[in-house]
Structure 1
């Protein structure tokens, strides 16, 4: 603090001397007065550039030969000092004293050029000196640029990973490479420069990369300050970004993500694209949680106090990698709307959504804003893609043709596909609700679903898909000419719908009323099936009193028994070809059918045995009827099941 105060005091005195002195001798007189007060204000304390600047100020209103002489002497001294370092074959920063001396000389030159330029001298000789100074400045900057690059490259060889840097912990043995490269390093070309890279570390992203030692960062900062002050900010940014970009690009390549254009990504087979999406998700998290924040931190430290240069460097370092990552997400967003792509597109959407705070914090400056806006736009396009996929699912259901009937009235493939699809989709219910609540316009057809009027947009969407599926199934059921088989088909598919909806998020979206309504529909299909399947058998068992009179024709009664046996066997044979996929449904049907038939048969046999001539007639035992019914619905001859 004392040294800073002394420097400021000296600077004030020098400024007063230069400002009040009309010529160089006057400045000397003023400094002599200060010197009598304090020895620190002697003429000897002035640097070469300050002496020359004082002379230039004195010559501002007239050509002054003495000013040129002072400028020439100061410039000669600076040329001698700077040329010694510029022409040296050894790295200047290999010796701390040399680095300090070189920076001091550069500071003198920067101050001299600034002061001489502001003096507005018109003498050609003075202007020539100024031209020489600017040439010398360029030489110094070129050497600083080389030193900057050398420090970046050498310092990068000793990077470390810390977890996290805020706690001061270090874990130097962490590596982003899952492969052992010792053999490659030992057997490779010794002259080839090895680029240190970052490689994936699993799912824990609480890591920051200290890519350069603190001492190197401090040296880089001192060089950056001089280059920016001298008007060489772009050159400094270029050399910085070229070194760091190589590190970042190599680190990204180790994550296994291919460099694909949007067109190339769209041409990938779906299975390959799925694998690439998995790699992309990991790469995005590593980039946004580790690599980019670490680069932001490094830029801020190297260019501390030079925010514009720091922002520019950061953008130039990560722009290529960021565009590569965003382009891939965009390729997914504008790609095919095939329903099977939903789940991977959801993964990409959720990754972008979860990383949006990182985009907001990292890409907030003037140079990065366009990438942040692009990230937001792509994220929204992914949401549009997901809504588009559901529209394509609707079209798929509408277009599914009424082909050959499903054997036995079993479960239709479209039913299984759509229900399993919706259940899987609803595992991402919060995400889908977010997507469908944003800018969704319900189609006109939704107005028919008045019971859903107050539901969420996702609920309306799911109800609409279910409505389309039911309509499609009803159209398919008409292909069955047998009304009983039509009922079996609708019963099977309706039961599957209800069971797939119960006890999960899809059921929560559709609501209890939907479940009750469709459970009642299934019961009605069951009733229709039983009536249409067994009505012929039950009709034979109905006898009027006249046919049981003592003088009644027993041939008629015997014919009824024969018809029953024929109809019963024929019905069992026909029903054995039916498919009831659900075990509980088969049991319910067995119980219902048995309750319909067995009591009616017992009554039928009992009444016939009341006729004298029929007492000795051979009837099927009731136990045999029960056994056949059990066998039909549960045993080897049972109505077949199906896959869920």
Structure 2
């Protein structure tokens, strides 16, 4: 019988049992040695024949490894002895019929092991799923490997008493697969073993990715989708990528490394072919999204994609460390680069959108401008991504094109702070907004109302900074500096808006003056106060704290002066005809009138309005 299919790998010491094999170089033969080899062949034939079946179907297949672990170990040992006999006859009598007989027995043994290997992969699928493998890999240290010739079946069983359920079955299956793989590879049948492994495991990986929702979408397909649909797919992808990397690919890498530990090239080949296609599809998706049309509204989903890959990078780099899977690392890297470019483009577009805002209609009552709310909410969300944004903008210098003095615009962080780049960028965006608001304030014909507008909007900005993660980027000094400016705006409003009221009263309200002079002062006060009251009940100060501070400041300046003037002159004017029409406001009513201000109600002439104009019901927040 010709030696068809003779495997050259028999001449390589690649198996765990290679230390027991004869040297491939020709050595003197002895009758005793040849007799031992004959005995190996006879013993192997006895064991192999017992478990060999011509049936190709698995319907009635009885697994040797499930039936008796001791006989399974005996089978593998018989194959190792047969391999040693084949080495002997190859070196001493290559035309021997014993060599042909050994080769035929080896082919029968390998067919049996192929079936065993496939059967274990198929029947133990639930115990070899990546989640089980990745979760229970720590149990390996407490279990003796099946292929250890020194361990008996009882010892092996005793070693896993502390491990139960899925962990136990998972470890047993991996140990069996490794033992078969080692045997087939060392016998020159690694190709057959690998073919079965790739076929079964790739289908499992592909099916798992499908259930995770990973789709193989091209750029052209994504480009045609509405953003709502893309956003929905991004949400699914964010859930899928973590499970795929930490469980699916990680577990598959562990299984490959464990089963094919005898050959680095085989385990690399298997892992690459099983996972590469799915991994490329997985990491291709975010790059395709990054290449789509960019608008500021898409920023946060792009940042989610970037952050997800960035957080998983240590695992990605470790799992796909083979040279044959370098394309996966390249794809993931390319996705990060594209996503980073998209973020920088959208930041530039966002700044440009603020600059280009052309709204010319003054906000009713000097309230908070929609642009202020939009920009600060956006910047607040950006601050939640300060970690990844710091990386993205680190090598992207800010080019300031502004006539503002440098002292007004300074880096809120030191250069040594890793977040200094994004801190600078966000500080600049806020400054662009504030400059835009200065222009919007000029739309008001009433100067005092323009200061209310500036105070309201800067108060909103500082509150947003103080109550969000922007605070940690811009710093308390930034907040304090701009809170002082809010007070300056409020002071300017008070000076401009109440100057006529304050100036209508004499500098010394307790000084003696003539009744005619007193009447004239009361008339001026009445006219000025009614005008201010009529206008400012339609103005708004949505922030309760700022509103109360402004009212309190006005009251402290107005009420004592008016009370002193009123008490000094009211008694004398009572005797004058028509004095009731001259003295319209009592000092105790001042607080009620002031309480009506800044709710945007437009109420006039009644102190009772204060009861219905409470901050809780009319404040716009």
Structures share a fold, TM > 0.5?
yes
State the shift of 1:243 in Å.
0.6
Distance in 2 between residues matched to 1:278 and 1:169, nearest whole Å: 38
Match 1:441 to one of 387, 397, 400: 397
In the alignment, structure 2 segments of 5+ residues that lack a partner are 1-14, 66-70, 143-163, 600-609
User: Does structure 1 retain, via aligned residues, the 8 Å contact 2:21–2:84?
Assistant: no
TM superposition shift of 1:480:
1.4
- Paired residue total: 546
Is 1:499 the counterpart of 2:499 in the alignment?
Answer: no
Secondary structure (helix, strand or coil) at the match of 2:462 reads helix
**Separation (CA, whole Å) in 2 of partners of 1:470 and 1:416:** 12
Query: Alpha-carbon deviations, 1:327-380, whole Å to 9, x = none?
Result: 233234444543333443333333222222212221112222331243234234
1:591-630 aligned at under 5 Å gives the runs 591-602=552-563, 615-616=576-577, 617-618=579-580, 619-623=583-587, 624-630=589-595
Aligned to 1:241: 198
Does 2:411 match 1:452? yes
* Structure 2 equivalent of residue 153 of structure 1: 122
CA 208–164 in structure 1, closer or farther in 2 if over 3 Å, else same: farther
User: What's the CA shift for 1:410?
Assistant: 0.4
CA–CA separation in structure 1 for the residues paired with 2:620 and 2:187 = 77
Q: Which among 461, 469, 482 is matched to residue 518 of structure 1?
A: 482
Partner of 1:565: 526
Cα deviation for residue 229 of structure 1 reads 5.3
Checking the alignment, whether the CA contact within 8 Å between 1:110 and 1:230 is kept in structure 2 is no
1:289-308 Cα shifts (integer Å, max 9, x gaps): 22223222221232121111
Q: Do residues 470 (structure 1) and 438 (structure 2) align? A: no
The aligned counterpart of 1:298 is 255
Q: Is the alpha carbon distance of 1:132 and 1:371 closer, same or farther for their aligned partners in structure 2, counting shifts above 3 Å?
A: farther
Structure 1 unmatched runs, 5+: 21-26, 33-40, 51-76, 171-206
**Alignment CA distance shift 1:144-1:473 (3 Å):** same
Q: Name the counterpart of 1:72.
A: none
* 1:266-314 deviation per Cα after TM superposition (whole angstroms, max 9, x unaligned): 5554444444334333322222222223222221232121111011111
- In the TM superposition, what is the alpha-carbon distance from 1:146 to its structure 2 partner? 5.7
Distance 1:323 1:152 in 2: 25
Taking the aligned partners of 2:430 and 2:530, their CA distance within structure 1 comes to 39
1:586/1:549 CA distance change after superposition, 3 Å: closer
Asked if 1:643 corresponds to 2:620, the answer is yes
Residue 442 of structure 1 deviates from its aligned partner by: 2.2
Q: Greater relative contact order (Cα 8 A, min sep 6): structure 1 or 2?
A: 2
Please say which of residues 300-309 and 260-269 is displaced more in the overlay: 260-269
Match status 1:309 vs 2:309: no
8 Å contact from structure 1 (residues 159, 210) kept in 2: no
Distance 2:128 2:464 in 1: 54
Q: Which secondary structure does the structure 1 equivalent of 2:285 belong to?
A: helix
Check whether the contact 1:156–1:212 (CA below 8 A) recurs between aligned residues.
Answer: no
- Alignment partner of 1:632 is 2:597: yes
8 Å CA contact 1:209–1:290 kept in 2: the answer is no
Aligned to 1:490: 454
Q: Partners in 1 of 2:187 and 2:241 — Cα distance?
A: 38
1:394 maps to what in 2? 351
| Structure-to-structure mapping, 1:252-263, within 5 angstroms | 252-263=209-220
1:598, 1:625 within 8 Å by CA — same for their partners in 2? yes
Contact 2:354 2:432 in 1 (8 A): yes
1:318 maps to 275
Secondary structure of 1:368's aligned partner: helix
Q: Tell me how far 1:147 sits from its aligned partner.
A: 5.6
Distance (Å, rounded) in 1 between the aligned partners of 2:183 and 2:572: 124
1:166 alignment partner, one of 131, 135, 138: 138
Q: Which one is further off, 287-296 or 469-478?
A: 287-296
Q: Could you tell me which of 375, 386, 408 is aligned with 1:418?
A: 375
1:573 positional shift:
1.0
Q: Corresponding residue for 2:287?
A: 330
In structure 1, the residue matched to 2:241 is: 284
Query: How far off its partner does 1:104 sit?
Result: 6.0
Aligned counterparts of 1:10 and 1:111: Cα–Cα separation in 2 = 9
| 1:600–1:544 Cα change, 3 Å | closer
Equivalent-residue separation in structure 2 for 1:621 and 1:549 (angstroms): 20
C-alpha distance after superposition, 1:416-439 (max 9, x if no partner): 222233233323434433443x32
Deviation at 1:132, TM superposition (A): 13
Give the direction of change, closer, same or farther, for the CA distance of 1:603–1:109 in structure 2 (3 Å limit). closer
Residue pair 1:299, 1:310 contacting (<8 A) in 2 also: yes
Matched, 1:590 2:551: yes
- Which residue number in structure 1 is paired with residue 329 of structure 2? 372
Q: CA deviation at 1:232?
A: 5.8
Distance 1:329 1:486 in 2: 46
In the TM superposition, what whole-angstrom CA distance separates every residue of 1:450-503 from its partner, at most 9, and x where no partner exists? 532845112211210111010111111121122122111111101112222225
Correspondences of 1:528-543 after superposition (within 5 Å)? 528-541=492-505
TM-score, normalised to structure 1, is 0.69
SS of residue matched to 1:370: helix
* 1:588-644 Cα deviation digits (max 9, x unpaired): 222222344445545665786698898443312433444323333682468995433
Task: Decide whether the 8 Å contact of 2:320 with 2:329 is kept in 1.
Answer: yes
